[in-house]
Amino acid sequence: MYKKILNLVVWIIVMTFFITLWYGKLMQVCRESAILPEILMSAEYREQKLNEAICESLKGEANAGKKVGLYLLDSEFGYKSYKQPLSEEFFVQLEKKWTHRMGWNTYLEMTEAVWNDVKYFPVPEFTASNLSVSYVNTWMSERTYGGDRGHEGTDLMASKNERGIYPIISMTDGVVTKKGWLEKGGYRIGITAPGGAYFYYAHLASYADLEVGDSVQAGDILGYMGDSGYGKEGTVGQFAVHLHLGIYIYPNGQEVSVNPYWVLRYIENRKVKCYTEV
């Protein structure tokens, strides 16, 4: 009897060991296979680190968000390079690799929200003058007003440092969800696009005739570029005239900023023409 009990105890211990080992291995496989929600809040995803090759492949693409999403996952968020060209066959293979994984649909929805609603560059092309804008990738560059922080956006700098002459264009269809003064952002307006992303236009000199709740179409004028902000309401002149553009998504209801730089590069040639001489 004692021997039977001992054998049973040994058997239970051995089975427990193998079940624990199997469960740990299963959990490891699940973690490696799943696209975890935390990815959308990671610094690597938020940076949206693309390059000229992927940007070129997006031209004429009906679903840029899907292509960007696949590229970011497979390239370890832009930190792995490829020797082969980023052809359509390349992305077909990425689809087979990633789209069946747990968490893909949520990841895709958020990435499409960033990319798929944009239709126009936020500053028009001036046909009757030499006005232009320039911008570089300043994502998370140091900012010190109000305390040390990273720059969560892209600044489009005016070639002519004069407030109130550059129209600011809505990049997307959507609804005005925020409007008014912010100490850091000055006069700002925020548009929530159909996919749920929030497009933030800051440092304006003035607004178009729009109020919170109004609908806008891509290409509509939202206001005019300025240099407002960094102080109490009405403060101007603390920096050069420019537009600060921010893009935000809301995974699980949490606000997450993403880098607009490559989105701007993607739509750089999609400009509304402005025929007014300034």
Q: Tell me what pLDDT residue 64 has.
A: 97
Q: Residue 32 — pLDDT band, cuts 50, 70, 90?
A: low
Q: Does 220 have pLDDT greater than 80?
A: yes
Contact call for residues 258 and 247 (beta carbons, < 8 A): yes
Q: Tell me what pLDDT residue 144 has.
A: 84
Q: Does 248 have pLDDT greater than 50?
A: yes
Contact call for residues 128 and 112 (beta carbons, < 8 A): no
- Per-residue tokens: 83: 């020797």
Q: Tell me what pLDDT residue 10 has.
A: 57
Closest C-alpha to 156, from 121, 188, 129: 121
Q: Residue 92 — pLDDT band, cuts 50, 70, 90?
A: very high
Q: How far apart are CA 245 and CA 177, in angstroms?
A: 16
Q: Does 26 have pLDDT greater than 50?
A: no
Sign of the C-alpha dihedral computed for residues 53, 58, 63 and 68 taken in this order: positive
Please list the residues that pair with 168 across neighbouring strands: 223
Pick the CATH number of 125-274 from 3.40.50.800, 1.20.1300.10, 3.30.1300.10, 2.70.70.10: 2.70.70.10
Higher pLDDT, 239 or 12: 239
Report the percentage of the chain scoring pLDDT > 90: 78
Q: How far apart are CA 138 and CA 239, in angstroms?
A: 16
Q: What is the residue whose two structure tokens read 């000055």?
A: 186
Higher pLDDT, 8 or 188: 188
Exposed/middle/buried for 101, CB within 10 Å: 0-12, 13-18, 19+? middle
* pLDDT tens string 95-145: 999 999 999 999 999 999 999 999 999 999 998 788 999 999 999 998 888
Q: Tell me what pLDDT residue 3 has.
A: 61
The rounded Cα 201 to chain-centroid distance in angstroms is 14
Sign of the C-alpha dihedral computed for residues 243, 168, 271 and 59 taken in this order: positive
Give this prediction's pTM: 0.87
Angle between helices 64-74 and 88-98 (to 10 degrees): 70
Q: What is the mean pLDDT of residues 41-57?
A: 95
Q: Does 236 have pLDDT greater than 90?
A: yes
Contact call for residues 138 and 151 (beta carbons, < 8 A): yes
Q: Residue 28 — pLDDT band, cuts 50, 70, 90?
A: very low
Q: Tell me what pLDDT residue 204 has.
A: 98
Contact call for residues 249 and 46 (beta carbons, < 8 A): no
Residues of the chain with CATH 2.70.70.10: 125-274
Q: Tell me what pLDDT residue 172 has.
A: 98
Q: Tell me what pLDDT residue 83 has.
A: 82
Angle between helices 64-74 and 104-115 (to 10 degrees): 120
Mean of pLDDT over the chain: 90
Q: How far apart are CA 189 and CA 204, in angstroms?
A: 8
